[in-house]
Structure 1
Amino acid sequence: MILFLLPECDYDPTEAAVPWAALASAGHEVRFATPGGRIALADRRLAETGFSWLSPWLMTRAGDLATYRRLTEDRWFQAPFSYEQVDGSGVTALFIPGGHASGVRTLLESGTAQSLAADAFIRGIPVGAVCHGVLLAARAKDPATGRSVLHGRRTTALTSVLERTAWNLTRRRLGDYYRTYPTTVQEEVTGVLADPRDFLRGPVLPVRDTAAHPRRGFTVRDGNYVSARWPGDCHALAADYLALVEAAAPRPGGC
């Protein structure tokens, strides 16, 4: 079972929908889990209400938004597990999208979700994470060592530059909408790594990827784990995560 962990609400539409679409188009079935087993919708500002004159830069792109609409019609999206209902031993691949609005904390601060993430890393199944989703992995501890499952791995995540830029652009009107926690994602993630150099920031000036040009995005792969920084990396991330999933579980009848 390929499992996507979603918060109660407020995740980024692109970060969930684009990887889901890549898997679904390749014939893979994806299941979902939320804190209470209820349907979880994405951040309304990113998907519907926008940012006034900043919408062209900050709102979800039209093509990715259409993909998100298709995701919400998926039968398994409409019938999620609760985190507690998930049997981790039956999970064959795990994906963790991000989001910055307050509702995403219901995922990042869940001990059960952290345990599911830790189990996935320990068992060596494919794991994908993007943006704030990497925080769940950073907070997931290996019981054998007491350290984060990212200790000793290379990763990326939402960079401090990206996070602070979005916050500075919007804070007069939206307050701390773009600051989920006082500490940036990059700072928290780097703090659990074996070496600060294991956090890879990617190009200083990020360029959004697209379905036609996925390699504009930036990802970091370390074994069974692939990570990305922001929605602008998600077409690259989707392709890399699909490759991980298919390498781990070849199709029936394949070579």
Structure 2
Amino acid sequence: MARVLIPLPARDFDPSEAAVSWQVLSKAGHTVTFATPDGRSAAADDMMLSGEGLDLWGGIPLLKKLPLIGLLMRANSDARNAYAAMITDRNYAAPLRWDAVDPSAFDALLLPGGHRARGMREYLESEMLQRCVADFFEAQKPVAAICHGVLLAARSISAKTGRSVLYGYKTTALTWALENSAWKVARITRFWDPNYYRTYLEKAGESDGYMSVQQEVTRALASPGDFLDVPKTDPDFRRKTSGLQRDTMDDARPAFVVQDRNYVSARWPGDVHTFAKAFASLM
């Protein structure tokens, strides 16, 4: 069975994307090793676990304990249960340091996402992780990336070509439609922190969505057409694009996953079961 590396930031990663992937890989018999910046256990985005802080009253200490919209936007019960199990795993409790990772010691790499800027930027901007990702691609080992994890892959430059490791691959990632819709909701319900769902914001003169995951990833590809989204002809188009329905182990209809050779990608937590299963089958 495969030895899979999952690097994480110190905090604020998406619990669904990491924990469900860990659960699927572990049940398939693969060994999962985690890595964090300092070798200490990572902590997921707490709002994505509790839903607290995602409502209009979310800034009020007592009232925030009564989430409403937050219950719809947080990780679902399957993901929360997977997270509760993952944090008791001994490999999760004793991760490697990023600077101690030897890519040659692993058979495959999985990159979860997360959007909360305070924790995710260190992960997305780490030159150390970018070199690690490039090593896996150059060795043609299986790599999986979901949501903002695809952004980390897009920023990873091949020493052989001087281009993104995703150049020449087809991929998906968090789409601007999904990112923008969540941002619009947060600007109303979390008005005191309206940019919670945007990791990077546009600067003056940049078009709407220029710093979105989709547009930055697309700029790293060989052709804009290599960024894939759900085709309108898909019989489950509405189910896949609503941002309200998530897949399960037994129902892949809401999911959209792209596989190109040794590389698997997906858009958001609603794809994660199908994403992890597709990745597990590569090994």
Range into which the TM-score falls when normalised by the shorter chain: over 0.9
Deviations 1:95-118 (A, max 9, x none): 000000020111111000001101
Q: Residue 225 of structure 1 corresponds to which residue in structure 2?
A: 263
Q: Please, which runs of 5 or more residues in structure 1 have no aligned partner? A: 246-255
Trace 1:151-230 onto structure 2 (pairs within 5 A): 151-172=167-188, 173=190, 174-182=193-201, 183-202=211-230, 203=237, 205-206=241-242, 207-230=245-268
The amino acid of 2:134's aligned partner reads A
TM-aligned CA deviation for residue 130 of structure 1: 0.3
Q: Distance in 2 between matches of 1:104 and 1:38?
A: 16
TM-aligned CA deviation for residue 8 of structure 1: 1.1
Q: Distance in 2 between matches of 1:214 and 1:75?
A: 30
The amino acid of 1:110's aligned partner reads S
Q: Residue 67 of structure 1 corresponds to which residue in structure 2?
A: 82
Q: Number of paired residues?
A: 245
Do structure 1's residue 244 and structure 2's residue 274 form an aligned pair? no
Contact 2:51–2:70 at 8 Å: present in 1 too?
no
Q: Distance in 1 between matches of 2:142 and 2:8?
A: 17
Deviations 1:144-170 (A, max 9, x none): 111000001000000000001000001
Deviations 1:128-183 (A, max 9, x none): 11000001100000011110000010000000000010000012423211000121
TM-aligned CA deviation for residue 63 of structure 1: 1.6
Instruction: Provide the TM-score with structure 2 as the length reference.
Output: 0.84
Give 1 or 2: higher helix fraction: 1
Q: Residue 39 of structure 2 corresponds to which residue in structure 1?
A: 37
Deviations 1:39-67 (A, max 9, x none): 10110000124323212321110121001
Q: Distance in 2 between matches of 1:135 and 1:167?
A: 18
Q: Distance in 2 between matches of 1:162 and 1:20?
A: 24
CA-based RMSD of the aligned residues comes to: 1.2
Deviations 1:196-227 (A, max 9, x none): 00000124624421122134311000100000
Q: Distance in 2 between matches of 1:73 and 1:10?
A: 18
Q: Residue 163 of structure 2 corresponds to which residue in structure 1?
A: 147
Rg bigger for which structure? 2
Q: Distance in 1 between matches of 2:39 and 2:81?
A: 24
Identity in percent:
47
Q: Distance in 2 between matches of 1:113 and 1:98?
A: 14
Instruction: Provide the TM-score with structure 1 as the length reference.
Output: 0.93
